[in-house]
Structure 1
Amino acid sequence: MIDFRYHLVSIVAIFLALTVGIVLGTTMLQDPLLNTLQSETSDLREQSEELRAQKDIADQINAGDDQLIGAFADEMLADQLNEARVVIVETPGVDDEMRAGLTARIEQAGGTVPGRLSLTDRFLDPEQSAFVTELTDQLAEGVELPRGNAYERAGAELAQALIAADPEAEDAEPADDERPGDGDEESEREPALDPEAVLAGFAEGGLLTQQGEPAQRADIVLVLAPAEPFAAAADGQAQGQEDDTAATGNAAVLALTRAFDAEAGGAVLAGGTSAVDAGGLLAQARAEEVGFTTVDTAGSTSGDVVTVLALAITLQGRSGHYGIGEGVDNYLPDPLPQPRPNDSQESGRDSGADTDADSE
Structure 2
Amino acid sequence: MIDFRYHLVSIVAIFLALTVGLVLGTTMLQDPLLNTLKSETSDLREQSDQLRSDKDVADKLNAGGGELISAYADAMLADLLDDVDVVVLESPGVDTATRDELVARIEQAGGNVPGQVVFTDKYVDPGQATFVDELTEQLAEGMRLPKGGAHEKAGAELARAVLRPEDDARGGGDDDAADGSDDEAGEEFDADAVLAGFTEAGLLTVQGRVAERADIAVVLAPARPFTAENAPSPKDAENPPGNDVMLALTRALDDASDGAVLVGGTGSTDPGGLVAQARAEEAAFSTVDSAGSTSGNVVAVLVIADARATRSGAYGIGDGVDGFLPDPLPEPVEKKDADNGNRQQQDVQASASTS
The TM-score bracket by the shorter chain reads 0.7 to 0.9
- What amino acid is the match of 1:268? V
1:138 aligns with 2:131: no
Residue in 1 that maps onto 2:330: 337
Residue in 2 that maps onto 1:199: 195
Indicate the SS of the match to 2:235. coil
Indicate the SS of the match to 1:66. helix
Superposed, 1:187-226 pairs within 5 Å as: 190-226=186-222
Indicate the SS of the match to 2:333. coil
1:249 aligns with 2:242: yes
Residue in 2 that maps onto 1:157: 157
Post-superposition offset of 1:5: 6.5
Higher mean C-alpha displacement, 302-311 vs 11-20: 11-20
Post-superposition offset of 1:285: 1.1
1:260 aligns with 2:262: no
Post-superposition offset of 1:172: 5.3
Post-superposition offset of 1:271: 0.9
* Cα distance change of structure 1 residues 138 and 19 upon mapping to structure 2, 3 Å threshold: closer
Tell me if structure 2 keeps the 8 A contact 1:124–1:252: yes
Tell me if structure 1 keeps the 8 A contact 2:269–2:275: yes
Post-superposition offset of 1:91: 1.3
Residue in 1 that maps onto 2:284: 291
Superposed, 1:297-312 pairs within 5 Å as: 297-312=290-305
1:171 aligns with 2:173: yes
Unaligned ranges ≥5, structure 1:
179-187
CA offsets 1:158-192 (integer angstroms, 9 cap, x no match): 111111122348425999xx9xxxxxxxxx97323
- What amino acid is the match of 1:289? E
- What amino acid is the match of 2:151? Y
- Partners of 2:92 and 2:265 lie apart in 1 by 14
Residue in 1 that maps onto 2:318: 325
Tell me if structure 2 keeps the 8 A contact 1:83–1:110: yes
* Cα distance change of structure 1 residues 242 and 30 upon mapping to structure 2, 3 Å threshold: closer
Residue in 2 that maps onto 1:92: 92
Between the two proteins, what is the percent identity of the paired residues?
59
Post-superposition offset of 1:25: 2.7
Give the alignment partner of residue 240 of structure 1, picking from 205, 225, 235: 235
Tell me if structure 1 keeps the 8 A contact 2:163–2:215: yes
Tell me if structure 1 keeps the 8 A contact 2:238–2:272: no
Tell me if structure 2 keeps the 8 A contact 1:297–1:323: yes
- Partners of 1:196 and 1:57 lie apart in 2 by 51
Tell me if structure 2 keeps the 8 A contact 1:233–1:279: no
Unaligned ranges ≥5, structure 2:
179-183
Post-superposition offset of 1:340: 2.0
Indicate the SS of the match to 1:191. coil
Post-superposition offset of 1:73: 0.8
Post-superposition offset of 1:34: 1.1
Higher mean C-alpha displacement, 260-269 vs 192-201: 192-201
Post-superposition offset of 1:241: 4.7
- Partners of 1:201 and 1:16 lie apart in 2 by 84
- Partners of 1:8 and 1:320 lie apart in 2 by 83
Indicate the SS of the match to 1:153. helix
- Partners of 1:89 and 1:224 lie apart in 2 by 6
- Partners of 1:206 and 1:77 lie apart in 2 by 37
Tell me if structure 2 keeps the 8 A contact 1:233–1:280: no
Higher mean C-alpha displacement, 46-55 vs 137-146: 137-146
CA-based RMSD of the aligned residues comes to 3.1
Post-superposition offset of 1:18: 4.1
Post-superposition offset of 1:11: 5.6
Residue in 1 that maps onto 2:103: 103
Indicate the SS of the match to 2:64. helix
Post-superposition offset of 1:316: 0.5
- Partners of 1:272 and 1:47 lie apart in 2 by 29
Tell me if structure 1 keeps the 8 A contact 2:125–2:230: no
Tell me if structure 2 keeps the 8 A contact 1:163–1:264: yes
Post-superposition offset of 1:15: 4.4
* Cα distance change of structure 1 residues 6 and 138 upon mapping to structure 2, 3 Å threshold: closer
Post-superposition offset of 1:226: 1.1
* Cα distance change of structure 1 residues 22 and 109 upon mapping to structure 2, 3 Å threshold: same
Residue in 2 that maps onto 1:184: none
Post-superposition offset of 1:197: 1.7
- What amino acid is the match of 1:324? I
Higher mean C-alpha displacement, 11-20 vs 93-102: 11-20
Tell me if structure 1 keeps the 8 A contact 2:230–2:241: no
* Cα distance change of structure 1 residues 165 and 53 upon mapping to structure 2, 3 Å threshold: same
Give the alignment partner of residue 271 of structure 1, picking from 250, 260, 264: 264
Post-superposition offset of 1:72: 0.9
CA offsets 1:194-225 (integer angstroms, 9 cap, x no match): 21221122212222111111111111000011
Indicate the SS of the match to 1:47. helix
- Partners of 2:53 and 2:237 lie apart in 1 by 43
Tell me if structure 2 keeps the 8 A contact 1:233–1:248: no
Post-superposition offset of 1:240: 2.9
Higher mean C-alpha displacement, 122-131 vs 326-335: 122-131
CA offsets 1:251-289 (integer angstroms, 9 cap, x no match): 111111100000002100101111111211111111111
- What amino acid is the match of 1:125? D
CA offsets 1:16-55 (integer angstroms, 9 cap, x no match): 4443343233222211111111111111111111111111
